[in-house]
Each structure stands twice: as C-alpha cells, then as structure tokens.
Amino acid sequence: MTSVSETPSITTRSAIEEFLFHEAGLIDRWRLEEWLDLFTLDCTYEVPATDHPDADPGLTWSLIHDGRTMLEQRVIRLKKPEAHAEFPHSQTSRIVGNVQILDETDESISVTANFIIHRAKAGKFDTYVGRYEYELVPRNSSFLIRRKRAVLAHDMLDPQGKISFII
C-alpha cells in the first residue's frame, strides 16, 4: 500500500502552495494578464463537463478546452467592458487547499488541490467547488503551468448558470 510517491519529492509542498495561492490571488484581483504569464506556450486549460468529470476535454463536449491562443483570447475578452456577463466584474474569493504533490520528474510536477470559489455578482452569491489538477514545470525559483484542469464537483451548473470568470 503506497499512497505516497516512493521517491521523496524535492519540491516542497509549501513552494507549490505559495505558487497556487499566488495564482488564486491574481485571478481574484482580476490581474489576468499576469495570470496568463504563469502559463507555458504549449499550455491547456480544461474544465470537463459536469457529467463526464474524467473525460478528455479534447475529445468530448467539455466546458472549457483552451490552448494558449484561446486562453489569451479569453483574457483579452474578459477585460473588455463588452464581456457583458462580467461587467461589472464579479467578486470572487477562492480557497485552495488539500494540496498534494502526486508525481515529480526533472521536467514536471503533477499536483492536485481542492478549490472553493465564492462569486458575488448583482446580488447573487454562487459557489463553485471542485478539484484542480496541475502539471507544473519548474522555472527559475518558481513554476509555470503546462496544464490546468478544474474538475467541478457539481451535477450541473445550477444555480450558478455560467462560468464567466476564470475558475
């Protein structure tokens, strides 16, 4: 019974946590260009459909399957006042926890964490919960995100109705 990787991780959990908390803070503060800078050029950002949480968003009708180009476009769009669902911007506050390093090689670290995001907009208060799966690559003294996958722990998007901000 091994629940922990045999080769002890060189990267510490606190270093990963610091990075994830930093990422969460950038999104909550709508510093989305800086957030985008956390990603590699070959990155993907995925949110599977609520009824197929384990599916590959590249081959199924998922909620989000962005490569770098679309991720940039998503950010450009969200910053425009004509992104009607997000103007004025919603307020989000996210808690990232249960951070675990699952695997580590010289090139990449796979990490999982849970999230709870509270979103307030126009008198409505919604909660989004789920699990993150990250593939991080070491860069200088920190990391870049090669893959971010947010798996919602929802049956459907009700009452939330939409995901119009970065999750």
Partner 1 sequence: MTAEQFIIDDRENNLFRVNREAFTSEDVLQRERKEIFGKTWLYVGHESEIPGKNDFQTRDVGGRPVIFNRDRHGDVRVLLNTCLHRGSSVCRHSSGNAKIFTCFYHGWAYRNSGELVNVPGNEDYKSEPAAVYKGLQSPAQVDSYRGLYFVNFDPDAPDLLTFLGEARYFIDLAADQSPEGVAILEGTHKYSLKANWKLLVENSIDGYHAKSVHHTHFEMMMELGATPPMLGKDTVNGIAPAGMGTEFPNGHATLMYPANGLPLATDSVKQTLAGLRAQAEQAFGENYANAMFGLARNSVFFPSLILIDLSFGLTLRTFYPVSASETLVTGWQIIPKGVDEEFVKYRIDNALTFWGPAGLATPDDVEALEQAQKGFGARGEVGWSDVSKGMGKPVPAANDELQMRSWWREWNRRITGEQLPTEGTSFVPFDKQGVDA
Q: Residues interacting with partner 1, by CB under 8 A?
A: 47-52, 55, 57-65, 67, 69-70, 73-74, 76-77, 80, 82-86, 155-164, 167
Nearest C-alpha neighbor of 150 from the set 134, 163, 132, 135: 132
CB-side exposure of 5: number of CA atoms within 13 Å?
14
Residue 8: Cβ-neighbour burial (10 angstroms; 0-12, 13-18, 19+): exposed
Q: Which is nearer to partner 1, 19 or 65 (CB)?
A: 65
Write down the least CB distance from residue 71 to partner 1, Å: 11
For residues 121 and 91, is the Cβ–Cβ distance under 8 A?
yes
> 106 CB contacts (<8 Å, ≥6 apart)?
none
Q: Which is nearer to partner 1, 1 or 59 (CB)?
A: 59
Q: Which is nearer to partner 1, 16 or 71 (CB)?
A: 71
**27/112 Cα distance (integer angstroms):** 18
Write down the least CB distance from residue 10 to partner 1, Å: 35
Write down the least CB distance from residue 87 to partner 1, Å: 9
Write down the least CB distance from residue 44 to partner 1, Å: 10
Q: Which is nearer to partner 1, 19 or 128 (CB)?
A: 128
